Amino acid sequence: MNNLSSIDIEEFFVLLYESWRELRKSDDIQQLILDGVSIFLDYFKDHSLQALLNAVGLELEDLVHDGLLFGPSSFKALDKAGILEPLISHVIKTVLSATCCCLHTSTTEFKSTLTKLKNISLCK
């Protein structure tokens, strides 16, 4: 009864994988994915980020782990693309304005601070 070899099983899974790769590019599957994302976002639109993370089973430890794993290469890619400094600047300005603080430093001092932030190693 067991006439399947390991090669047969491997070829079966390769065929399934190749079929999926082609199928996922179809307009119907792309639309299903977009509809699923839309439904997900609509469902969670009035929930806090914490509620969303709990609902999908993510905890702080998961986020820290992934941040440490992918953060350094992500920062390097953002820097290479020339958007890390403007992104950090935007985040800092947003945080400061949200806490009703004012930035009383010169542009040179601000850029120096951003440079120091960029050079902090997350791999220690």
Assessment of whether the complete model's pTM goes beyond 0.75: no
CA distance 89 to 16: 47
pLDDT at 74 (0 to 100): 92
Domain chopping of the chain, boundaries: 6-55, 60-118
Report CA torsion sign: 52, 56, 59, 65.
negative
pLDDT in tens, 3-36: 778 888 899 999 999 998 888 888 888 899 899 9
| Cβ–Cβ under 8 Å, residues 115 and 64 | no
DSSP secondary structure of 38-81: HHHHHHHTTS-HHHHHHHTT--HHHHHHHHHHHHHHHHHHHHHT
